[in-house]
């Protein structure tokens, strides 16, 4: 998800949430969860990905269970609220943690139930190896179960492409941009023809896609911080600046009111869309159904996103929370959620299921989303995600956003980002 800074107001809200949430400091052993009625539990999620749909689905087949869902804020804000709650000793029973925020919690596994003791040891083989390794601590404990991965693609407006004289067939459109440079050149042609912006923004739709397409991001495989010397990071940053300088962006930051309005009004024709973004497009611009299609991401492959469900150690209703995890994140549970909401499963056993491979999305002109998104993961060499990945990405995005909004100097943006990262993480 798009990462945003945590404001004092949000921190205050997080403190209020941590005080009011179900939980307690007592707890039992990991293999013997304490108390609870097994009929209700408190669930914290971040916004923008419609966890309510999953909760509604679960409650429909488990009518006696009450799930108290709270959308805390952005993924970063939710992680901050969890940190506050853990320090205060009062926690939710279940929490959704975004992949970039996960490592700092994995470093403190004592704050969470070791899910192996609740059954994770029997199901860990259901998940992609590189995905289930991320919530696994050095002592072998598993603190989270993956909910999805963010295979990449590009959503584009066929009606607006047609007006610009560009091809509309998804295979032909994919051929327009085998590389990010070609993507920018296509954008320049679109702007020249229409006088309108091509893509929503450079920070999310260019930088955050390109930086997630290689084998090394902010850390090397041994866990050393390398953001300042990684060619992958600098190349992605420069591509975003190039897109801005080409004048192809609408300067609308993802998930803002302006972004939502611009999407509904056709003020831009393209959004980089990891699989979980499809739901955001449907909810944000429902009247555009049938006007979108989906093409291959420049570069062909990559992953942005992926989240994990964890149970804090002080949870009162750990058994009920685990029942939710085990049912909703099973291979068939993830497949059902993909068919209903578009979140790409982390369970490779369903990748060849005809229900997935044959899934076509009529909102996106019948695009075969199962095939498009699983293909984007083929041959992917996952990168190491470290405890400060979220903070590093935030500062790089901040620097790019400032340039895009006319508040920063493009020539100094990289150095500014590096300085701010060093201040934020101390290295």
When pLDDT is averaged across residues 368-378 and rounded to a whole number, the result is 90
pLDDT of 133: 94
| 282 and 325 co-located in one domain | no
| 143 and 161 co-located in one domain | no
Residue with tokens 């549970």: 333
**269, pLDDT greater than 90:** yes
| 145 and 175 co-located in one domain | no
Does an H or E element contain 389, and which?
helix 389-404
Burial status of residue 57 (CB atoms within 10 A of its CB: 0-12, 13-18, 19 or more) = middle
- Cα 43 to Cα 88, 94, 336: the distances in Å are 17, 5, 20
Return the CATH number at 339.
Answer: 3.40.190.10
Query: Would you state the structure tokens that stand for residue 139, as one six-digit string?
Result: 């002592």
| 64 and 194 co-located in one domain | no
Instruction: Provide the β-strand partners of residue 98.
Output: 307
Q: Cα angle vertex 324, ends 321, 325, to 5°?
A: 90
| 164 and 272 co-located in one domain | yes
Range of the domain at 142: 8-150+305-347
| 249 and 313 co-located in one domain | no
pLDDT of 49: 79
pLDDT of 48: 77
Phi and psi angles of residue 149, each rounded to the nearest 5 degrees, phi first: -125, 160
Asked if residues 114 and 337 have their Cβ atoms less than 8 Å apart, the reply is no
- pLDDT tens across 19-57, in order? 333 333 333 333 445 555 568 999 999 987 778 989 999
Report pTM: 0.85
Residue at a domain's end among 293, 314, 347: 347
DSSP state letters, 56-117: HHHHHHSTT-EEEEEE-SSHHHHHHHHHHHHHHT---SEEEEEGGGHHHHHT-GGGB--GGG
Number of domains in the chain: 2
If you average pLDDT over every residue of the chain, what do you get? 90
pLDDT of 36: 56
- Domain assignment present for 2: no
Task: Using DSSP bridges, classify how beta strands 154-157 and 40-45 pair: parallel, antiparallel or unpaired.
Answer: unpaired
pLDDT of 184: 98
């Amino acid at each position: 998800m798009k990462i945003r800074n945590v404001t004092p107001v949000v921190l205050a809200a997080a403190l209020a949430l941590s005080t009011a949430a179900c939980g307690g400091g007592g707890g039992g052993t990991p293999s013997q969860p304490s108390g609870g009625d097994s009929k209700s539990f408190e669930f914290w999620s971040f916004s923008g990905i419609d966890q309510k749909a999953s909760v509604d689905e679960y409650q429909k087949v488990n009518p006696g269970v009450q799930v108290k869902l709270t959308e805390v804020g952005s993924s970063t804000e939710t992680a901050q609220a969890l940190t506050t709650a853990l320090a205060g000793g009062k926690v939710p029973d279940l929490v959704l943690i975004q992949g970039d925020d996960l490592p700092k919690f994995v470093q403190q596994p004592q704050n969470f139930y070791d899910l192996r003791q609740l059954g994770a040891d029997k199901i860990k083989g259901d998940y992609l190896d590189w995905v289930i390794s991320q919530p696994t601590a050095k002592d072998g404990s598993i603190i989270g179960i993956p909910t999805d991965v963010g295979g990449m693609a590009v959503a584009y407006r066929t009606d607006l492409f047609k007006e610009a004289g560009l091809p509309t067939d998804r295979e032909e459109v994919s051929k327009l941009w085998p590389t990010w440079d070609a993507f920018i050149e296509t954008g320049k042609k679109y702007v020249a023809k229409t006088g309108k912006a091509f893509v929503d923004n450079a920070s999310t739709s260019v930088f955050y896609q390109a930086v997630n397409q290689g084998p090394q991001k902010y850390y090397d495989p041994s866990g050393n911080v390398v953001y300042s010397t990684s060619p992958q990071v600098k190349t992605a940053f420069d591509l975003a600046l190039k897109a801005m300088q080409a004048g192809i962006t609408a300067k609308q930051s993802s998930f803002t009111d302006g972004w939502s309005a611009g999407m509904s009004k056709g003020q831009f024709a393209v959004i980089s869309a990891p699989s979980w973004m499809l739901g955001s497009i449907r909810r944000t611009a429902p009247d555009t159904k049938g006007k979108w299609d989906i093409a291959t991401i420049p570069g062909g492959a990559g992953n942005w996103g992926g989240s994990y469900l964890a149970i804090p150690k002080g949870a009162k209703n750990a058994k009920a929370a685990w029942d939710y995890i085990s049912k909703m994140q099973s291979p068939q549970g993830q497949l059902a959620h993909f068919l209903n909401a578009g979140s790409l499963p982390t369970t490779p056993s369903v990748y060849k299921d005809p229900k997935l491979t044959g899934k076509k999305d009529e909102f996106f002109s019948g695009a075969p989303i199962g095939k498009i998104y699983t293909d984007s993961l083929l041959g992917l060499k996952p990168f190491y995600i470290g405890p400060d990945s979220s903070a590093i990405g935030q500062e790089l995005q901040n620097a790019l956003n400032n340039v895009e909004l006319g508040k920063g100097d493009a020539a100094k943006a990289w150095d500014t980002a590096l300085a701010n990262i060093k201040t934020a993480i101390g290295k």
